Homo-oligomer: A and B are copies of this chain.
Amino acid sequence: MKQVAASVEEVATVLKLLGDKTRLTIMGLLNNQDCCVCELVEIFQMSQPAISQHLRKLKDAGLVKETRKAQWIFYSMNKEHEMHSLIKDILAHIPDQKEKLKELEEKGTKISCE
């Protein structure tokens, strides 16, 4: 499939962001479903500020969007991002992240606002 070429700079910016194991995995998770910060903290066993700072970078670049739902802020993939097809192509190369979400449910730490 022929792609519409973005500038080298734009692509390099996205790759640099996804060139971090934590951020790449976050995108893999968001590719399955929206997550709130505390879920990600639980999954990555990382400090809350560390997760927040990774999310900030992704948000500043427009790769993710945030939505407040009650006391939680849910992050989701921005499907309107100019580089969304590149991101999907990349995520097709990493293992499915559903397992991690399943574990959350089993531990009972899954947040649900529906």
Residues of A in contact with B (beta carbons under 8 Å apart): 1-3, 5-9, 11-21, 24-25, 28, 83, 85-86, 89-90, 92-96
What is the total number of copies of this protein in its complex?
Answer: 2
Contacts of A24 in B (CB 8 A): 8, 11-12, 15
Nearest-Cβ distance from residue A107 to partner chain B, whole angstroms: 21
The reply to whether A18 and B12 contact each other, CB–CB distance below 8 Å, is yes
The reply to whether B3 and A12 contact each other, CB–CB distance below 8 Å, is no
A96 to B12, CA, bound (A): 15
A8 to B24, CA, bound (A): 7
Across the interface, name the chain B residue whose C-beta is closest to A20. Answer: B12
A11 contact from B1, B85, B93, B96, Cβ within 8 A: B93
